[in-house]
Structure formats: C-alpha cells, structure tokens
Amino acid sequence: MKAYRTYFLALIVLVAIGISFWLYGPAIDAWTQGVIRQADAHPWQTGAWLTALLASDILLPVPSSLASVACGLTLGFWGGMLASFLGMTVSTIVGYWVGYAVSGQATRWMGEKEKGAMAALYDRYGPWMLLALRPVPMLAETSVLFSGFVRQPFVKVVFVTSLGNLVVSAVYAAIGSWGKATYSFLLAFAAAIAVSGLMMLLGRNNSK
C-alpha cells in the first residue's frame, strides 16, 4: 500500500512552503513594504516590482495579499487589477511546469496507482478546487503544483486559474484603490474567498 506516500508528498510540499515563509517571509515582507513606500514617487516602477513579486510567488514566500492590494493602491483599480492578474498568472504557469517537470521522479517514488488515483480526483474536482483555492496561501500554490504533477491539460488549468486570479485581483485592487490597504486585508481575503467559492459552486452546478 502506497497511499500514505500521496499524503506524505502533499505534506512535504506544504511543509517546504511553510518553512520558506518562516525563514524568508519577514525579509520579503519588509522589502515589499519598502517598495510600497516608494509608490508615490515611482508608481509605475513600483507596479512593475509588485507584478514581478507576485510572479515569483510560487517559488518565494511572497505576501501576495499585501502585494495585490498595493497594486491597486499604486496603480488604481484597473492598472492594479491588471498588474496583480499578470503576476498571479505567471506564478500559476511556473507552478504548473514545476509540478510537470518533477512528475516522473515523484511517480517512481509513490507508484503509478497512487498517481492515477490523484489524477482521477483532479479529473473530477480539479478545476473547481483550483478556482476556490486561488486566494488561500500555501494551498493555492500546492494545488497548482499538483495539477502539473498529475499532468492535467495545461490550457484547462490556465483558463480556470485565470478566472480565479481575475476575481482575486479585482477584489484586492478595489480595496487598494479605495485607500484602505492598511486595515482591509481580512475583508479583501474574505471577499475573495467568498466570490471564488461562489464561482466554484456555479461551475460545478453547470457541469452536471
């Protein structure tokens, strides 16, 4: 029985992401705050840095909610939404291909049967799971990595995650453009989860 290896693999990914947040998160958060403080003097340069930061979210412990709200604060709603959306989408694509690249080696360790079971789970729930987890730290990255690992169709993964990225980016950019970046992260996070969850339910109902 190799079922435990599936859970162990997921645990390893989550722990690795968690450790990176613990080790490097405070430094990257401080750097992000510094970039934001330069926003008034260099708004477009700041927006470019924030986009690049969000694009690296799959590999670095980026405070993505802070960066996305800051996009709206720096560039306004439309510019902030576009910057956040581009950064999140690039991160998603990189995450998919990282999972795809390690798929063969991971399959040899956990076994074809277990990979098949995970692939079947993604075939049934994958698109809406990817959509619902877009605003959730760590789980968003993990779900994308595993979609590449089980080699879900690339176009489908990008399409579904792009919908979620657009919703999340719009919510965060709206909060930022209203000038409430300091106090409204919980509201933005809750709203993004609620809207993505609604989209997930609508998508599942329409697929029946």
Virtual torsion, Cα 72, 69, 129, 191, nearest 10 deg: -90
Distance CA 11, CA 186 (A): 26
Distance CA 180, CA 98 (A): 35
pLDDT given for residue 7 in this prediction: 53
**pLDDT over 60 (residue 81):** yes
- Which whole number is the average pLDDT over 64-80? 85
- pLDDT tens digits along 96-123: 999 899 887 767 766 676 667 777 778 8
134 in the Ramachandran plot: left (φ > 0), alpha (ψ -120 to 50) or beta?
alpha
Q: Which residue has the higher pLDDT, 64 or 154?
A: 154
pTM score of the predicted model: 0.74
Ranges of each domain in the chain:
3-207
Region of poorest pLDDT, from 7-16, 33-42, 142-151: 7-16
pLDDT given for residue 186 in this prediction: 60
pLDDT given for residue 157 in this prediction: 93
pLDDT given for residue 84 in this prediction: 94
Q: How many CB atoms lie within 10 A of CB 208?
A: 4
CB 124 within 8 A of CB 89: no
- Average per-residue pLDDT in the chain? 75
Distance CA 123, CA 178 (A): 39
- pLDDT tens digits along 139-189: 788 889 888 888 899 999 999 999 889 988 988 888 888 765 445 556 666
Start-to-end CA distance of the chain, whole Å, equals 33
